[in-house]
């Protein structure tokens, strides 16, 4: 598999020069097979392959904007805590986060309706279209029973 993804973005993803500029690979959304109402932590203009009706960027401030409907949350891994807390309160969505020895991770583990550990060799999409692994394992968490069923039916792995 090439490190260059074969896709036309339609617009350029922005590289903010941080370790947070990694985007969920398209195969995750193909496997999930659902439409999200909102991508709460997207680059300006959104990510072309994220099936979300609306996306919020740093400009929109997804932490202060109201979340409506089913949300997709791949938050900045440098500061997951406020995103995790907001998703727990919203209780309708799926998050992709790193495994961590932290209070927020324990809280999410306890409050999520489902958890699915992704393979360790997963590669994320960088803003230039190349793919790259990250150094930590990642996990999908669901919030509410409908979203837990999405994880179960995805074929991506076992759901607790």
In this predicted structure, the answer to whether residue 158 has a pLDDT above a threshold of 70 is yes
Task: Please tell me the number of Cα atoms within 13 Å of 86 on its side-chain side.
Answer: 21
CA–CA distance, 105 with 102 (Å, rounded to integer): 5
CB atoms within 10 A of CB 123: 16
Task: Please tell me the number of Cα atoms within 13 Å of 81 on its side-chain side.
Answer: 5
pLDDT (tens digit per residue) in 83-126: 999 999 999 999 999 999 999 999 999 999 999 999 988 999 99
CA–CA distance, 122 with 67 (Å, rounded to integer): 28
CA–CA distance, 141 with 147 (Å, rounded to integer): 9
CA–CA distance, 42 with 76 (Å, rounded to integer): 10
CA torsion, ordered 38, 21, 131, 46, to nearest 10 deg? 30
Which pTM was predicted? 0.87
Query: How would CATH label the architecture of 22-153?
Result: 3-Layer(aba) Sandwich (3.40)
pLDDT band (50, 70, 90) for residue 134:
confident
SS3 per residue for 132-158: EECCCCEEEEEECHHHHHHHHHCCCCC
Predicted confidence at residue 117, as pLDDT, reads: 97
Among positive and negative, which fits the CA dihedral 134, 137, 18, 58?
A: positive
């Amino acid at each position: 598999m090439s490190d260059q993804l074969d896709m036309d973005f339609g617009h350029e993803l922005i590289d903010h020069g941080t370790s947070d500029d990694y985007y969920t690979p398209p195969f995750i959304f193909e496997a999930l097979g659902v439409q999200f109402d909102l991508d709460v932590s997207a680059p300006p203009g959104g990510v072309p392959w994220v099936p979300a009706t609306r996306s919020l960027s740093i400009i929109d401030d997804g932490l202060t904007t109201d979340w409506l409907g089913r949300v997709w949350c791949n938050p900045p891994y440098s500061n997951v805590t406020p995103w995790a807390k907001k998703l727990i309160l919203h209780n309708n969505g799926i998050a992709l986060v790193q495994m961590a020895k932290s209070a927020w991770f324990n809280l999410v583990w306890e409050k999520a309706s489902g958890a699915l550990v992704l393979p360790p060799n997963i590669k994320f999409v960088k803003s230039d279209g190349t793919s790259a692994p990250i150094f930590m394992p990642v996990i999908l968490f669901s919030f509410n029973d409908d979203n837990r069923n999405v994880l179960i039916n995805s074929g991506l792995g076992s759901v607790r």
